[in-house]
A and B are shown apart, each in its own frame.
Chain A
Amino acid sequence: MKDNRNLPLDERLKSITLEENQGGDLQIKDYIYYFLLGGLFPGLLLIWGWY
């Protein structure tokens, strides 16, 4: 792989505009994990804690 440490910013930005050089968007499974861990799990915990 080409070692492009210290690549000038312009070239770096040009590279990163290509979709294959990006990390991608969140997938459906990520949103499901977020819902389970950040929504459903806390919701159930709060109900358990209250009763």
Chain B
Amino acid sequence: MAGSDHHETESAHPLLPHERIWCPRDLMLVSISTSVATWCFLMGGFVGYYLNSKMGIAALTAGSMIGMLLISLAVIPAAAKYGIESVTSAKPFFGNRGWVLALILQYLSVIGWNSILLIFFAKSATRMLIVTGVIDESMSSIAIGSLSILAVITIWLLLKRGASAVKNLSAILAILIILVGIWIFFMIVKNFGFQAIITAKPLAPSGNLVWNYATGIEVGIVSLMSWWPYVGGIVRISPKTSQTTIPAMLGLGLPVALMSIIGLLSVLLIGDPDPTSWMVELGGVAYGSLALSFIAFANFGSALIGVYISCIGLRNLETFRKKSWNLTTMAALVPVGLVAVFIPELFFLRFGNFLAFLGVLFAPLVGIQIVDYFVFRKKQLNIKDLYNTNSASSYSFWKGWNPASIIALLCGFVTYFYLLNPITYESRIPYQYLTATLPTMAIGAIVYWLITRFVIIPLGWGGYTKFTSKKPEK
């Protein structure tokens, strides 16, 4: 789909009705395939240090669903209405130059996640090759590197078909993922029994049950903040906004919660969040290696969608808009491949810190976007001005940047760090009662509202005057 033959689903332009071809079932399957990967096990595993199975299941599921609600309210109304992806949906509050901040956040976050996913993919596939006797354990590092390169090339080839490749592969992967998930749950119950699951103790609880519970909820909410870059690129291919509600909540939110329960139970019962480390021992070589392959491909499917999303984001840049789709996919894949091949272990060790910072930035952004779209824009965007890069655009603010959103973002960032250090998990009151993400989002939203209401609108910036009348201009 290089050059002039590319589809608009491979550009950052708004999609027209006949290009929005994903029915709710397609959207649901793509969402499940996107959301389920080894990251779910890590989330659950982390919560297993603080909470038992009952509290952990409640906290993770509730946190994930609350997080998905907030992400949905921020991105979906604009993205699905106008057929735009997440980065474009940020132009009304970041400005027609400031949106580059959203692009940087998206690029770093998705590239980071994709690198981790490819490392997980290669590790799972290597383990499968070892347990089936195809390769010797001594060859594992070579196998991980080779499989990572193979995955990068395969994703690049698959993405030549753009959104249709994402849809077709997701349809198969989502069903396999659901079956493997059920099988893993069955293996856990069969081998340990319900009684052991109920009575299993958390590995290292803090001593304050309220704090432990809040941390479980926090992990669920903040992890879902990483969906911000993904959601727009997925829902814009759906023809109607109201067709995205259930697929988003039940496809992107609930599966994360359910699969993270596997990680939670794994830690509580075995001490290791990653079921790939024990499924062969418990399930036998045949079933175990089959499940390993499916988990490897679940990571692959999530990475495929992640690369697609980051490519769509990159197409906002003039440089990539003029180049072929294949070159854009390469730009998204090269850093992923380099990380996965040359520094997988180092990246693995440092990635948690890096992601924590990104999650912290997405939280206030979500609060800002909800206030901007629902309160100030009255659910109406000037679609032409979203693509107008000069100062005549409603979204030019001050030289293309909106000071309100930048200040609100920084205030949110400081709030999060005041409440909870995402690296050491040292916290301050009222973290244990409110979590850190929810107050961060609220502070971001309030600061944005105050500055916009009392500074930006009186200055006539942002095109808000058009939208404050009773009959908004469409």
Q: B262 near A: Cβ within 8 Å?
A: no
Give chain A's interface residues, CB within 8 Å of chain B.
1, 4-7, 9, 12-13, 15-17, 19-27, 29-30, 33-34, 37-39, 41-43, 45-46, 48-50
The chain B residue with its CB closest to the CB of A42 is B62
Are B240 and A24 in contact (CB-based, < 8 A)?
yes
A5, A22, A39 — most chain B CB neighbours (10 Å): A22
List, in ascending order, chain A residues with CB within 8 A of B379's CB: 25
Are B242 and A26 in contact (CB-based, < 8 A)?
yes
Partner of A50, one of B55, B72, B384: B55
Minimum CB–CB distance for B16 against chain A, Å: 6
List, in ascending order, chain A residues with CB within 8 A of B16's CB: 4, 7, 12, 15-16, 21
Which 10 A-B pairs have CB atoms at the shortest separation, nearest pair first? A49-B58, A38-B69, A42-B62, A23-B241, A30-B245, A37-B249, A45-B62, A45-B58, A23-B80, A16-B14
The binding surface of chain A is classed by DSSP as: helix
Tell me the count of chain B residues lying within 8 A, CB to CB, of chain A: 49
Are B81 and A49 in contact (CB-based, < 8 A)?
no
- Pull 8 A–B residue pairs with CB atoms less than 8 Å apart, ordered by A: A12-B8, A13-B14, A13-B387, A26-B76, A33-B246, A38-B249, A46-B59, A49-B57
B14, B16, B20, B213 — most chain A CB neighbours (10 Å): B16
Q: B190 near A: Cβ within 8 Å?
A: no
Q: B238 near A: Cβ within 8 Å?
A: yes
Give chain B's interface residues, CB within 8 Å of chain A.
4, 6-8, 13-14, 16-20, 54-55, 57-59, 61-63, 65-66, 68-70, 72-73, 76-77, 80-83, 213, 217, 238-242, 245-246, 249-250, 253, 379, 383-384, 387, 474
Further 14 A-B residue pairs, CB within 8 A, beyond A12-B16, A23-B81? A6-B6, A7-B16, A13-B384, A33-B245, A33-B246, A33-B249, A34-B69, A38-B65, A38-B253, A39-B69, A42-B62, A45-B57, A46-B62, A49-B55
The binding surface of chain B is classed by DSSP as: helix
Minimum CB–CB distance for B63 against chain A, Å: 8
Are B249 and A34 in contact (CB-based, < 8 A)?
yes
The chain B residue with its CB closest to the CB of A19 is B474
Are A29 and B242 in contact (CB-based, < 8 A)?
yes
Q: A39-B69, A42-B62, A50-B58 are in contact. Are A1 and B383 (CB under 8 A)?
A: no
Are B17 and A45 in contact (CB-based, < 8 A)?
no
Minimum CB–CB distance for B86 against chain A, Å: 15
Are B58 and A37 in contact (CB-based, < 8 A)?
no
Are A23 and B239 in contact (CB-based, < 8 A)?
yes
Are B245 and A26 in contact (CB-based, < 8 A)?
yes
List, in ascending order, chain B residues with CB within 8 A of A33's CB: 245-246, 249
The docked-state distance in angstroms from the alpha carbon of A39 to that of B82 is 27
The docked-state distance in angstroms from the alpha carbon of A45 to that of B64 is 12
The docked-state distance in angstroms from the alpha carbon of A22 to that of B62 is 32
Are A25 and B249 in contact (CB-based, < 8 A)?
no
List, in ascending order, chain A residues with CB within 8 A of B83's CB: 16, 22-23
Minimum CB–CB distance for B142 against chain A, Å: 44
The chain B residue with its CB closest to the CB of A14 is B384
Q: A21-B17, A24-B240, A25-B379 are in contact. Are A34 and B62 (CB under 8 A)?
A: no
The docked-state distance in angstroms from the alpha carbon of A43 to that of B59 is 10
The docked-state distance in angstroms from the alpha carbon of A34 to that of B217 is 18
Are A49 and B82 in contact (CB-based, < 8 A)?
no
Are B383 and A16 in contact (CB-based, < 8 A)?
yes
The docked-state distance in angstroms from the alpha carbon of A34 to that of B66 is 9
Are A41 and B65 in contact (CB-based, < 8 A)?
yes
